[in-house]
Amino acid sequence: MTTEGALSPAAEAFLTYARVEKGLAALTLSAYSLDLKDFRRFCESVKELGLPGEETVRQYFDGLPARGLSSRSIARRLSTLRSFYRFLLSEGRISEDPTALLPSPRQWQNLPKYLNPQQVEDLLAAPDASTPTGCRDRAMLEVLYACGLRVSELCTLKVTDVNLQLGFLRVTGKRNKQRLVPIGSKARACVQEYQDSARSAILKSKSSAYLFVTQRGGAMTRQGFWKLLGGHGRKAGIFHRLTPHVVRHSFATHLLDRGADLRSVQSMLGHADIATTQIYTHVLRSRLRTVVDKHHPRS
């Protein structure tokens, strides 16, 4: 950030606080930085050189929908600014929080995209498991769908995090919170096959603590996995907007569609708040309609 106006040094102080004292993840810090830069550019455009007050903040959020931002993106910026202004308030730099009365964007309309079961089967079958890298890719896809992991969680899994005998993974999520996630039999078989032969074939003489590795001996990167997922998606006939999060959404949607309760899905996804998991209630509403149609005598 530049040092123009009062906003920039305050934002730098907030980012330092978030990194050093709160120990937030690098991805969260990057999102905070991008959001604050966007807010600063707006403030400069309206000649606001001090710490922006309620009127400027409202003008900023009023203009976001016209820029084509989704309610989810707007909500993220609101979360960033609320954290920023709470920091300023705690530091005594401001006397009132200008974000306190701002309404949150309604996110329930943005239903998560997900694959149908046949698309998932096609995707999981896309890698050529007869090659070491294909065997690895299939194991990664199986684990991603079987456990609903975030891409960063998948890529940072270590060999010691996997207990195939008991059928559980120890997953390190946001803010280094750990959770145990069950892994199904098909994914376990693929991981076992990968560990038995393909992993050592990829590493050759190298060693690594990570489960899913590259030929350089390091962990598979997020960018690397996005690239291989896109390639296997195209092979499976899935051409548009296939991301690791779509597979994660498919995991949650298919579980709920088959009768899983929301609390269990929340635990497996690693959501701190049940409200985050409730975006999937479109599935529950659909199932309720089916139940009524099938069982009510006057349906």
Name the active-site residue from 19, 37, 86, 245: 245
Single out the catalytic residue among 174, 222, 282, 287.
Answer: 174
Joined together, the tokens standing for residue 251 give: 């995991």
Catalytic option among 40, 77, 138, 150: 150
Choice among 60, 85, 194, 280 that is catalytic: 280
92 Cβ neighbours under 8 A, 6+ residues apart: none
Query: How many Cβ atoms are within 10 Å of 80's Cβ, its own excluded?
Result: 22
User: Is-catalytic flag, 40?
Assistant: no
Q: Which of 77, 136, 232, 248 is catalytic?
A: 248
**Catalytic residue list contains 150:** yes
- Is 249 among the catalytic positions? no
Q: Residue 213 pairs with which residues in a beta bridge?
A: 219
CB within 8 Å of 238: residues ≥ 6 apart: 115, 119, 122, 123
Catalytic status, residue 93: no
Active-site annotation holds for 248 = yes
- 210: annotated active-site residue: no
Q: Which of 136, 138, 254, 271 is labelled catalytic?
A: 271
Could you give the residue numbers annotated as active site? 150, 174, 245, 248, 271, 280
